[in-house]
Chains A and B, each alone.
Chain A
């Protein structure tokens, strides 16, 4: 009963905190650690599994309605924003939930394969840095003309330098990932929205489109498999997994990307938790906090681990389906421009609390770098050099 109670507490906490834009799992894991919450819970790994999954699922709501991504769901932003502008944010949230639901079940099927591949390849540093170099070269040479190549190279150098400065030599702030991911991916976009969004987009509550939408299950399989691949290479993110899927399966419609991205996002969380809890290998920051900084290591039963994942996913989706209309009605009533200002203010406060003035300074730097793809009309995935370059340097030297 205590176990079930703690799982439900995790789901409830994840639900409430997931609705707050830009509150990253890493920051929350730090907060739980500092507050001593982990030691108060007798089954904290299960609490954290349910919390992390619920938080990820619920964070699709601010993503689809406000356009605030986290480091896990950066790529969703583009197709969901298209639907938002058509007043179909609810449809995009439903697609996220469908993709996540199937993504969780398929990722559970892939766990034995993940273990085998991880055991086989993770010790080969050569494999890791070759993959990272290939991705950086691909960013540059996927552009057609010389000027575009130069622009992409400049963005890689700027974001990569920021990554090295904040991640490799972290003398500056408490949680550089929160600050810089927000500055690179969300803040330029939110600022642009304040100046751009003169018209109010009323979000529809009926989603007739969902009936005509056909879910491509093989695509979800492929997404989870590519997510499994990125788990093998440190610093690879969901964006590289999506890139891999789009190269294998071309001619995808914008709408197909939403369940694809959500399946990748949720499976990367499942895979990270699995590797972190059972093999002490973390691929995401919050899992690292969970396995290295806690003085009380609770063992996790694999069967309970799997059932907690399924239970948390299902109950979170039910909660979201129950509450989504009320949230959309609320969003329709308020001024979108003011909401963007409010989101920026909330994020500033969170960053100030966690990282003080130096965090705000680095937020400014990363916002400037994050504006470059918008100004030069380039793909924002290139900004992932922020994580790729420091990892590459770490493995080479």
Chain B
């Protein structure tokens, strides 16, 4: 077995994967916050809107669930108060299977950031 050839393969693998991680995380991982991308219906006078997208990064708290709704490279933080264990399970499955979900709620500012407070949701 040629040790130099082995080292060369490692360096090639290292370089290619590093380039891929840099490129992919820069272009494909959602980062900007832009609600207009998600809107399926117009925001009415009460700011009620319907959004669809995929869930990322679910944070579980005693009183609320916080997660990122993504569509393409856009992302918005969503919050669901007074959730049930069934809601949590559905969201966990939607995360692991990368299922799209549809949300109905209200655009609001919470913790000084634009967020979407959910009234109800369903897995598409």
Using CB atoms and an 8 Å cutoff, list the residues of chain A in contact with chain B.
3-4, 7, 94, 98, 101, 207, 210-211, 213-215, 278-280, 295-299, 301, 303-304, 307-308, 310-311, 313-315, 317-318, 321
Contacts and interface: CB of A to CB of B under 8 A. Distances in A.
A279 B1 contact: no
Contacts, number: 87
Nearest to A309: B17
Interface stretch (B22-30, B37-45, B101-109): B22-30
Determine the main DSSP class of B at the interface with A. Answer: helix
Nearest to B20: A307
B59 A296 contact: yes
A297 B60 contact: yes
A307 B18 CA distance: 8
Interface residues of B, number: 31
B56 interface: yes
Contacts of A310: 13, 16-17
Given A211-B3, A296-B59, A314-B14, 6 more contacts: A98-B1, A213-B1, A295-B59, A304-B25, A318-B10, A318-B11
A301 B98 CA distance: 9
Contacts of B16: 310
Determine the main DSSP class of A at the interface with B. Answer: helix
A303 B17 contact: no
A133 B93 CA distance: 33
Interface in B44-89: 55-61
A4 B21 contact: yes
A303 B24 contact: yes
B95 to A, nearest CB: 5
B109 to A, nearest CB: 22
Given A98-B1, A311-B14, A321-B7, A3 B25 contact: yes
A397 B7 CA distance: 51
Nearest to B95: A299
B6 A101 contact: yes
Given A101-B10, A318-B11, A279 B2 contact: no
Most buried by A among B21, B28, B55, B58: B21
B42 to A, nearest CB: 29
5 contacts: A3-B25, A210-B1, A295-B61, A299-B55, A314-B17
A45 to B, nearest CB: 10
A296 B58 contact: yes
Nearest to B67: A297
B58 A311 contact: no
B17 to A, nearest CB: 4
Nearest to A312: B17
A315 B14 contact: yes
A101 B9 contact: yes
B26 to A, nearest CB: 9
Most buried by B among A98, A308, A310: A310
Contact of A295 (B11, B24, B60): B60
B58 A297 contact: yes
A214 B1 CA distance: 6
Contacts of A318: 7, 10-11, 14
Most buried by B among A101, A295, A313, A314: A314
A301 B25 CA distance: 10
A313 B95 CA distance: 27
B56 A299 contact: yes
Contacts of A207: 3
Given A4-B21, A299-B57, A211 B1 contact: yes
Contacts of A3: 21, 25, 29
A94 B10 contact: no
A303 B58 CA distance: 20
Nearest to B25: A3
Given A98-B6, A211-B2, A213-B1, A4 B58 contact: no
A132 B121 CA distance: 43
B57 A297 contact: yes
B17 A311 contact: yes
A142 to B, nearest CB: 33
A98 B9 CA distance: 11
A101 B3 CA distance: 13
Nearest to B14: A314
A186 to B, nearest CB: 30
A349 B122 CA distance: 51
A10 to B, nearest CB: 13
A317 B10 contact: yes
Nearest to B70: A299
B96 interface: yes
Contact of A304 (B10, B13, B24): B24
Contacts of B60: 295-297
A313 B6 CA distance: 13
